[in-house]
Structure 1
Amino acid sequence: MRRIPILLACLALLVPALAGARTMQARIARVDTPVATLEEVRLRVDWPADAAVGDLQVWVARADAADLGYRWRDLHWRCPLRRAEDAGWRCAGALRAGNGAPLQLEVAFDASSTHAALSRGGARVALERDAASPDLTTLDLRQVPVAWVQALVAQAWADARLNRGTLAGRLLVTAPSGGALRVEGPLRLRDVALETADASIAAEGVGADLAIRYRSAADAAAVDVDGQLRGGQLLAGNTYVALPETPIGLEVAARRATGAGWRVPRLAWRDGAALQATASLAFDTAGALTRMHVDARSDDLAPVRSRYLSGWLGLAGLGELDLHGALQVAAEVDAAGLSRIDARLQGVDIRDPAQRFVFDGLQGDLRYSAGAAVESALAWNGGKLYGLEFGEARLPFASADGVLRFREDARMPFMGGRLTVHDVVIRPPRGDAGADIRFGLVLDDVDFGRVSQVVGLPAFQGRLSGAIPNAHYANERVDFDGGLSMQLFDGQVVFTSLALERPFGTAPSLGADITFEDLDLLRLTEVLGFGSVTGRLDGRIDGLRLVDWTPVAFDAWLESDPAPEVPQRISQSAVQDISSVGDASFVTSLQGRLIGFFDDFGYRRLGIGCRLANEVCSMSGLPHSHQGQGQGAFTIVQGAGLPRLDVVGYNRSVDWPTLVERLRAVGSGEVAPVVE
């Protein structure tokens, strides 16, 4: 299609007048045809007397086919010219535009018809025109590189860049003088790759069998496409589509008027049970979406994630989400964002392969409105959150003015107790504002032993209760007001300043402050495997930060809290364990060889601290260092009575991974004492 009509228009006018002369030249300032305008045209024929073949050359300084989007400079064609039947002419030779690589142009025409073919390698564009219908041109495309139609595509989509692929088909091009340009016919695409200038839209390896209809007039343009897609990948913004090898039905109708953006009154997508969807869209002159209505249905959600949702889910760290069940959804979007959604779920299961969450048996409907009030209700059979099990629940929703909220509290069984979610207010992204979620939580009599087992802690026993009156999610971060309190080892543990970043994304991060009051040391050390220590324990962990659930920073301090009628004794095995963890030795007034005769010792005070930063734990102990043990020494256990025994630390900087290994060694019993 690229250069054929331009040269044919020139040849049809001039070659019959030139042939038969020894040498003849012609200069034409301008040639106007329905397809193109040519300027500064020169022809030269050299035809020796009595020769059967002449030499034809054509030069065109400028050629513009505005409706097709093509403009060339310095065209030159040279070929052996010969007569054909019916007073016609034939010529075949190299066609060049400037310094570009040549193409082979073959032309045959007579008074009633014109035939031409442009080729390079296996690519070929053949053209046919009949004098009886001068406005109609038939194009036969075979293995044509998509780059050859870049200019034509740019007429409808200026930002698109065709990078790879081939076209084949038979197109009818109608270009009446002063009328609308029309292109229609079947078109086959194979291995097509394209992208826009800003890379927001791209395609790779796409195949298609389509019927196209394109119309371009001075005041409007229209594109209609109907057919099937076959394999490949598509990207539009954050939407990534991996097309299956099975055919997907596609129907597109797009319209544009002068001074207005494109409208797509119909877009249909047919992918079997995975997805059936219809949509209408409108864009402004800058290409921004101003309106969209979508009706979609999936009777089998299993392939939907990998084919259509991986781009969006990947942003949230959920690229491998496992989906099952059925879903129907109708949604509307305006220039500000989502304005309406009406979704119905049937037996939907959502499972994160990383076991961060599971929702089983989602059933019901979910409605959101940026305007008038609507109500809905969603229920599930149960699920898990980071391994913590919750039971069935019903979520009653109401929505109006861009807000989705609970109509009443939602209660569900949770790890042997009960979880209540209340005051839920959800604002989906709209305009320049991102998603914003607010809610409250109440935990009542949760079995902390079950929780400990799930999260990999020792077999703690206790009940967890507490309330978080306000929690706020925005910008991938959840901040919690209030706190949680837990009755543990006859004492209390309180969590405050809770904050969670990227809860389901890459490297989730948790921040908290924790305080301990009056924990029973005997029960605690028995569970931890730290020998036997009697007494009470207070403490704090300030600025705790976990990244991917691994500690990276905190400032911790634990110390004994004398209580009336509670003896403070420490067993020899506990001394050994504490010495191992604290990188310490124990010091006694008796000879080291006599220590083994005593099972336990009295102590006056016990205290140990660790400030973690950059994988180094800065250790500390009781305020008064043990005399005679060096300036860097610090006391962990201050003995009392006879035999008196102190545990003293010497290394204030301990590698955190090493400290963790020591704790593991204590649990396995692989500890030996160091006596001084």
Structure 2
Amino acid sequence: MGLSLPLLGAAALCSLPAAAQARTLEARIAKVVTSVARLEQVRVRLVWPDGAAQGELELQAGRIEAPELGYRFQNVAWRCPLRRDGRGGWRCAGELRAPGGAPLTLALDLGVVSTDARLSRGASVVSLQRAAATPDLTRIDLTRVPLAWTQALAAQAWSEGRIKSGTLDGRLDIAAPARAPLRIAGELRLAGAGFDTPDGLIAGEKLAADLRVDSELGAVTRVRLGGRLRDGEMLFGNAYIALQGKPVELDVQAESAPGQGWRLPRIAWRDPGALSASGSAALRGDASIEALDLQLDSPDLAPLRERYLSGFLGLAGLAQLELSGGLDAQLSLRGGDLSQASARLREVRLRDAQGRFRFDGLDGTLAYSDAAPRESELSWRSGALYGLEFGATRLPFSSDHGEFRLQRAISFPMLGGRVGADNLRLRPPAGGKGLDLRFGLNLDKLDVGQLSKALDWPAFTGELSGRIPEAHYADERLELDGGLAMQLFGGTVEVSSLAMERPLGVAPTLSSDLALRNIDLESLTGVFGFGSITGRLYGRIDSLRLVDWQPTAFDAELHTEKTRGVRQRISQRAVQDLSSVGDSSFVGSLQDRLIGFFDDFGYARLGISCKLADEVCQMGGLDAAKPGPDGRPGFVIVRGAGVPHLDVVGYNHRVDWPTLLERMEAVSKGELKPVVQ
């Protein structure tokens, strides 16, 4: 029923008349007011049989209120055997009951020089002492007291908070002078504490702490809380803090006036070797941040991931990000949004455990302002993006009106060429809007051979160049205007309509359109181990969609175009491989047994199409072919020319995509054989 009940019971008993020798004494009191609480509709009844060593005391109160402590009870009843203590005082112990709660045991000693009370339930005990010489001072000792008993008191400071578990041990001194605010001070030991809010945005579990408390509960409530957090986990929005059994020093000063949120003129947090923080804050009535000024210093970023950053990193798909190096920072929030910030990085290393990116030797400063301009410069020694290594560069920034801007174009070496960025503008999340990033991108003569090796592709050769006038990242989606061009296999592959979703998150998605022009088929088939085909390849791959870098949809059509001076020949191995992959057959003008005498064949045209959806490829070719022996309609993949004349015809219009990939891999290893008609 709360820590105030011993005081309330003592106050009521003190209201008894001094003379209590009568056999039956009954009193009705409209109101009893103490410095801590107010009792209304009080009824006191004492029955003392003639010659008995003790009487029976019964106390009832229709209403008990301690507004500054937050406690309110109705229909409270206490019954106990009353006896003298032999020193001029009285002693009484019995059950204290109120509707809706389990009974407690209240033992009260009204001595000549002091009043002592003991409220208990099982192993949980609240002991109260008050000396007659200092009636305004009450001492309370707590032993394994359920933290839930303090719910009403805690609600005075934080109405949304709900205490779920935990116990308190310690001692509190309560001073209640007539003309000064109520003051509560002492030392407490917290064990197994848990709390949350109805919306689940703030929570704590398994908290253990040794705390010093000093508070004034008056027109303005002032609280100072210091000590050591020994263990536990806490959630504040997306910020998840896990102490992992490593103590943290804490010092907080707070004050609040009626109808206003809390002001925290001092916040200090010291986690040796990991993080030190100090500053001030102002909170709204719902405990959200109105203003915050904070200084941070971390000599080693490595422990921060598990202890402080896992909530933010998990949302960004970076739960296993490895960090090292040092950092100090300052930040200010106004109206809940970032106002000013700066960070100084000292030999910082970031490494994504999934191999998506790496930065080594991050050094320098980064400053942000929502008002007057601030300049800063950041650099890195080296890095990698999806296994693609790149070199050092420096990034000069300017920030004002809530935006970062790159002051000049930058470039750095990558894959034997250079990558450049310009017109970079970054706007951090604010005003309910998420991160917004825009920049231009230049790729100059990147070595496709190095790119293929890094991405574990076949051994392509060529160069990649291009200009993206503007790349735009917002709402976890990256869109790139313009296009890229790869000089590949003697021809060109143009990439357009490029976009990515969750580029660094879970299951990243990429979409684009590709156009192929004048590709040398002999070089291409040689790389893939697909027999040998000479000629020039053209085509398109529209609406390409990759999920987690695996194709899930596209509409592709590839064909050859006759080019002056270029022979069009297809080897027997290539014919066999085409037939094996696509459930195709080849039809010759000579008897089947003679085909094996020829190493290659002339062809007039070659073409194939595939529209992938739901893991099924809808296959097609140059044009329709005569039905096969089983009556299935066919499509021409290779239209032969010359002697011997050979056509390759497909009959399966729907091919399972995983099966097709398996066949292509088997073909490259020479493990599949064709059907010959």
Please give the range of the TM-score, normalised by the shorter of the 2 chains.
over 0.9
| Alignment of 1:430 onto 2:430 | yes
In 2, distance between residues paired with 1:247 and 1:271?
A: 7
Residue 294 of structure 1 corresponds to: 294
2:33 corresponds to:
32
Is the CA contact 1:468–1:482 (under 8 Å) kept in the aligned structure 2? yes
The answer as to 2:111 corresponding to 1:110 is yes
How far is 1:509 from its partner?
A: 0.6
Match of 1:523 in 2: 523
Partners of 1:21 and 1:573 lie apart in 2 by 121
Residue 12 (structure 2) aligned to one of 10, 13, 17: 10
SS of 2:527 mapped into structure 1: helix
Partner residue, 1:184: 185
- 1:133-166 per-residue CA deviation (whole Å, 9 max, x = no partner) reads 1111100001110001111111111111110000
| Higher mean C-alpha displacement, 103-112 vs 494-503 | 103-112
The reply to whether residue 455 of structure 1 matches residue 455 of structure 2 is yes
Q: Is the 8 A contact 2:443 2:465 kept in 1?
A: yes
Residues of 2 paired with 1:243 and 1:521: CA distance?
Answer: 61
Residues 282-431 of structure 1 aligned to structure 2 (within 5 Å): 282-335=282-335, 337-431=337-431
- Cα offset, 1:336, TM superposition: 5.6
**How much has 1:404 moved relative to structure 2?**
0.9
Paired with 2:69 and 2:675, the residues of 1 have a C-alpha distance of: 90
Contact 2:360 2:382 in 1 (8 A): yes
RMSD (CA atoms):
1.3
Name the structure 2 match of 1:94. 95
Residue 627 of structure 1, CA deviation: 5.7
CA contact (8 A) 2:4 2:66 kept: no
The CA distance in 1 between the partners of 2:449 and 2:172, in whole Å, is 74
Kindly indicate whether residue 209 of structure 2 is the aligned counterpart of residue 208 of structure 1: yes
State the one-letter code of the partner of 1:12.
C
Amino acid at match of 1:644: H
Q: Which moved more, 1:47-56 or 1:262-271?
A: 47-56
- Retained in 2: the 8 A contact 1:626–1:648? no
For 1:390-442, what per-residue CA distance to the aligned partner results, in whole angstroms no more than 9, with x for missing partners?
Answer: 01111111112222111111110001111111111111112132211110111
Letter in 1 for 2:281: L
Check 1:128–1:589 CA distance in 2 against 1; reply closer, same or farther (3 A cut).
same
CA drift at 1:257: 2.0
Spell out, residue by residue over 1:461-488, the C-alpha distance to the aligned partner (whole angstroms, 9 max, x if none): 1111111111111111110000110111
Q: How does 1:435-446 map to 2 (within 5 A)?
A: 435-446=435-446
TM-fit CA distance, 1:624: 3.2
User: 1:46 deviation in Å?
Assistant: 2.2
The answer to whether the 8 A contact 2:202-2:237 is kept is yes
1:107-130 CA-to-partner distances (Å, cap 9, x unmatched) read 111232100111111110000011
Measured in 1, the distance between the counterparts of 2:391 and 2:339 equals 32
CA apart distance, 1:100: 2.0
SS in structure 2 at match of 1:466? strand
Q: Distance in 1 between matches of 2:204 and 2:459?
A: 54
- For structure 1, which runs of at least 5 residues remain unmatched after alignment? none
Cα deviation, 1:541-589, whole Å, max 9, x if unaligned, reads 1001111111111101111111112111111111111112212111222
SS at match of 1:258: coil
Aligned to 2:175: 174
2:594 is paired with a residue whose SS is helix
1:544 is matched with 544
> Which residue matches 1:470?
470
Secondary structure class of the residue paired with 2:73: strand
- The aligned counterpart of 1:502 is 502
CA distance in 1, matches of 2:596, 2:53: 123
Structure 1 window deviating more from structure 2 (579-588 vs 307-316): it is 579-588
Task: Say if 1:28 and 1:39, in contact at 8 Å, map to a contact too.
Answer: yes
Tell me how far apart the structure 2 counterparts of residues 115 and 249 of structure 1 sit (CA, whole Å): 35
CA contact (8 A) 1:146 1:166 kept: yes
Measured in 2, the distance between the counterparts of 1:13 and 1:436 equals 69
What CA distance in whole angstroms lies between the structure 2 residues aligned with 1:362 and 1:668? Answer: 45
Equivalent residues of 2:624, 2:633 under 8 A apart: no
In the alignment, residue 541 of structure 1 is paired with which amino acid? I
Q: Distance in 1 between matches of 2:599 and 2:286?
A: 83
**Conservation of the 8 A alpha-carbon contact between 2:512 and 2:544:** yes
Distance 1:195 1:286 in 2: 13
Give the CA deviation at 1:197.
2.1
Paired letter, 2:613: A
Aligned to 2:76: 75
Equivalent position amino acid for 2:478 in 1: V
- Aligned counterparts of 2:71 and 2:567: Cα–Cα separation in 1: 96
Secondary structure of the 1:51 match is: coil
Partners of 1:648 and 1:56 in 2: CA distance: 106
2:267 — aligned with what?
267
Q: Quick one: which amino acid aligns to residue 609 of structure 2?
A: G
Residue pair 2:493, 2:515 contacting (<8 A) in 1 also? yes
| Further displaced range: 20-29 or 639-648 | 20-29
Larger CA deviation: 278-287 vs 77-86 = 278-287
CA contact (8 A) 2:171 2:187 kept: yes
2-side partners of 1:187 and 1:632: how far apart? Answer: 85
State the shift of 1:16 in Å: 4.2
Residue 232 of structure 1 corresponds to: 232
Match of 2:67 in 1: 66
Letter in 1 for 2:266: R
Aligned-partner SS, 2:652: coil
Q: Distance in 2 between matches of 1:336 and 1:154?
A: 23
**Whole-angstrom distance in 1 between the partners of 2:403 and 2:201:** 30
Is this contact kept in 2: 1:70–1:151, CA < 8 A?
yes
Give distance in 2, aligned partners of 1:37 and 1:257: 23
> Contact conserved, 2:624 with 2:634, CA < 8 A, in 1?
no
TM-score, normalising length: structure 1:
0.98
Count of paired positions? 674
Stretch moving more, 189-198 or 285-294: 285-294
Instruction: Give SS of 1:17's match.
Output: coil
Give the TM-score normalised by structure 2.
0.98
Percent identity between the aligned chains?
Answer: 53
User: Could you tell me whether the CA contact under 8 Å between 1:335 and 1:431 is conserved in 2?
Assistant: no
Q: Partners in 2 of 1:632 and 1:203 — Cα distance?
A: 68
Cα distance per residue 1:595-650 (max 9 Å; x no partner): 21111111111111111111111111112324656453111111112221111111
Mapped to 2, the partners of 1:359 and 1:286 lie a distance apart of: 39
User: Aligned to 2:136, what secondary structure does the other structure show?
Assistant: strand
How far residue 247 of structure 1 moved from its aligned partner, in angstroms, is 1.5
Q: Which amino acid aligns with 1:386?
A: Y
